[in-house]
Structure 1
Amino acid sequence: MAKGREINFNLPSADDLFSTQEERDEAKREMIMEISIEEICDFPNHPFKIRMDEEMANLVESVKQYGVLSPVIVRPKDDGSYEMIAGHRRRYASELAEKTEIPCIVRNLSDEESTILMVDSNLQREKILPSEKAFAYKMKLDAMKRQAGRPNKNYVPVAQDLRGKTSRQILGEQVGESQDQIRRFIRLTNLIPELLELVDNSVLKEKDKLQIALRPAVELSYLSEEEQSDLYETIESEDCTPSHAQAIKLRKLSEEGRLDENVIFSILTEEKGNQKEQFRMPRERIQKYFPPKATEKQIEDTIVKALELYRKRERSLER
């Protein structure tokens, strides 16, 4: 007996049957709406900070004169309000400019789509802090993994789309970072806020505030919260931050269970190579005494020998 074969027909919906092509095209087209600022809430755990700096001041003045030229992107919520996806700075500038409404593009997006769009739209900014990259990369990477594991009819799974590449690989390609650099930034999410502020200052360069570079910060992220708190107290009291080598030492002692306040203090108060007092002299003052191709080491050795001879001569004259 021959087996039957199922035939699938794509039947038109009621909307297709009782609407014109123009009406259907209009429904698909994104519309710009003026929405009350009070009806728009922040994106949950938004990782990008809004700073009242010169750039923000300029944006406020622009909004006062011309309004918001580029609409923000929001998605509707079940209660009738909206959630900001892209445009937190423009909304804040609008509030400072005493605007009550803001032009919006309303999109129906899933949680994963919203997270990816939110991160991507903010990564276009010129100055991005390490803490912002850390939480943004983590949020986007988690969203990409969820999308790959639970695809919808319009989404090609990450593994297939990337021809075997991991989510971290494609994220790195999208943001222009290596996989290792992505991993380093995400490790920063394990730092306590006080230490993370010092890492951010490696970019902000605020005066009278200490800095911690990325590499040592990654090592410190493996310390427990209590150990990090003890470290921060020592940083504050001694007005110094750990070098990369010291951070590696702190992590090793922490893993061995031998890190406490006293050990932290002894490591941070060690003299670092770059803290040793150095004497420098402009090369043009002494270059006439040396061959043109003389290296710094040769010049230094010659000066030391000359000073030793001078010292011997001075001592002989004193006798």
Structure 2
Amino acid sequence: MTKKPTIVNLNDLLGIEDDQIKETEDNTGIKEVELSQLVPFKNHPFKLYEGDRLDDMVESIKEHGIILPLIVRPTEHGKYEILSGHNRANAGKIAGLIKAPVVIKEDLTNEEAMLIVTETNLIQRAFSELNHSEKARILTERHNAIKEQGKRMDLINEVENLCKADDLAENSDVGKVCPQGRTRDIVADKYDLSPRMVTYYLRIDTLTNELKERLDNDEIPFMAGVDLSFLQQVEQDIVEDILETYGFKITLKKSNALKEVSQKKGLDYEKIYDIVSGKFFDKPKKPKNFKFTAKFKKKLSKYFDKNQSQTEIESIIEQALETYFSQDREVDNEIEM
């Protein structure tokens, strides 16, 4: 039987008294807000829990409440956008809760908000649990953060300190960040991946949402998804439209052809259809070489003398054919007149 993770009271970890949660007016502290005031992060790239995992969270919240605060930021409409805690908010509503503890983050850029979304999801779930599009989003955000350094890496450390505790399950697939090396190599070491695989995932993150969903559902092979990422967005949209309309399947052979033709600036709807349908790969039938049968050659021999040369025989046949077909053309012309 799988052991459920121990629920940790984050207030104890941060040295915050329980009565401070409701009374604090400090936007950097922990306070309670109504679940009805929370809205999901725009274009949230992670799927909500379902099945047993959701049921377990609902039962845990019914018994203990929401222990780990959500991380949110204020919106222009007086509500709070969830950066971390979409599953807790969803399970809390199902459990019948009215309010939830939150940490409010002010003055975040959209890029910093997305970084919190990806990092907190990774902290709460092992990297291996994520689907392809979720891994791609996390690796892209981490890659960008390392390139920019400074404030964004400080934000990662802050999120890790806020959300992670010794009693919470660690990500078994996560290694240590190497202190030197190129950005891609640092990310690769962090997630125990090869640098090449990191490059693949950075490409996957540029796919349209529809193609990412097909990749996650195993409708598109992983490396085919990498090939499709080289297509312009309008070309990817056409691929999706054709897949949806006709039910064709993408194979590595097809994706490679799409990539090659796209790079030559030769993709349009008709060409994409030909490739995705497989018509592009149909080989034209070669015309059969004209040959005289042995029986026909024997019949010809009675018309020529054995002493006549090959050239002379071919000339006689050519003249005979020209006369024959010229007579046919004259008859056709008379009929038309």
TM range (shorter): 0.5 to 0.7
Equivalent-residue separation in structure 1 for 2:240 and 2:105 (angstroms)? 44
In the alignment, which of 123, 126, 133 is matched to residue 124 of structure 1?
126
In the alignment, which of 50, 63, 80 is matched to residue 48 of structure 2?
50
1:272: how far off? 12
Task: Tell me the TM-score normalised to structure 1 length.
Answer: 0.59
Equivalent residue number for residue 239 of structure 1 = 247
Larger deviation, residues 54-63 vs 107-116: 107-116
The aligned amino acid for 1:121 is: I
Q: Mind listing any 5+ residue stretches in structure 2 that lack a counterpart?
A: 1-11, 23-31, 158-176, 282-337
> Are 1:72 and 2:69 matched, yes or no?
yes
1:251-272 CA distances to partner (integer Å, 9 max, x unpaired)?
1101112222222222223389
The answer to whether the 8 Å contact 1:235/1:241 transfers is yes
> Are 1:59 and 2:75 matched, yes or no?
no
The answer to whether the 8 Å contact 1:240/1:268 transfers is yes
Q: 1:180 to 1:238 in 2, by over 3 A?
A: same
> Are 1:270 and 2:278 matched, yes or no?
yes
> Are 1:29 and 2:28 matched, yes or no?
no
RMSD of the alignment, in Å? Answer: 3.9
The answer to whether the 8 Å contact 1:73/1:107 transfers is no
The aligned amino acid for 2:15 is: R
User: Of the two, which has the highest radius of gyration?
Assistant: 2
Task: Tell me the TM-score normalised to structure 2 length.
Answer: 0.57
1:18-48 CA distances to partner (integer Å, 9 max, x unpaired)?
xxxxxxxx9x735563612345554565422
Q: 1:144 to 1:123 in 2, by over 3 A?
A: farther
SS of equivalent to 1:190: coil
Equivalent residue number for residue 85 of structure 2 = 87
Larger deviation, residues 75-84 vs 98-107: 75-84
Larger deviation, residues 191-200 vs 99-108: 99-108
Equivalent-residue separation in structure 1 for 2:67 and 2:263 (angstroms)? 50
The aligned amino acid for 1:47 is: P
Equivalent-residue separation in structure 2 for 1:141 and 1:251 (angstroms)? 25
SS of equivalent to 1:49: coil
Q: 1:186 to 1:68 in 2, by over 3 A?
A: farther
Of all paired residues, the percent bearing the same amino acid is 22
The answer to whether the 8 Å contact 1:31/1:105 transfers is no
The aligned amino acid for 1:179 is: P
1:229: how far off? 2.0
Q: 1:43 to 1:118 in 2, by over 3 A?
A: farther
Q: 1:109 to 1:226 in 2, by over 3 A?
A: closer
SS of equivalent to 2:245: helix
The answer to whether the 8 Å contact 1:86/1:122 transfers is no
Q: 1:68 to 1:176 in 2, by over 3 A?
A: farther
Equivalent residue number for residue 269 of structure 2 = 261
1:94: how far off? 0.1
1:100-179 paired onto structure 2 within 5 Å? 100-104=98-102, 111=112, 114=116, 117-124=119-126, 127-148=129-150, 162-179=178-195
Larger deviation, residues 72-81 vs 234-243: 72-81
In the alignment, which of 184, 190, 199 is matched to residue 200 of structure 2?
184
1:201-248 CA distances to partner (integer Å, 9 max, x unpaired)?
02xxxxxxxx01211011111112222222122222332222112211
Q: 1:266 to 1:167 in 2, by over 3 A?
A: same
In the alignment, which of 197, 206, 209 is matched to residue 193 of structure 1?
209
Q: Mind listing any 5+ residue stretches in structure 1 that lack a counterpart?
A: 1-25, 156-160, 203-210, 274-319
The aligned amino acid for 1:212 is: I
1:148: how far off? 4.2
SS of equivalent to 1:48: coil
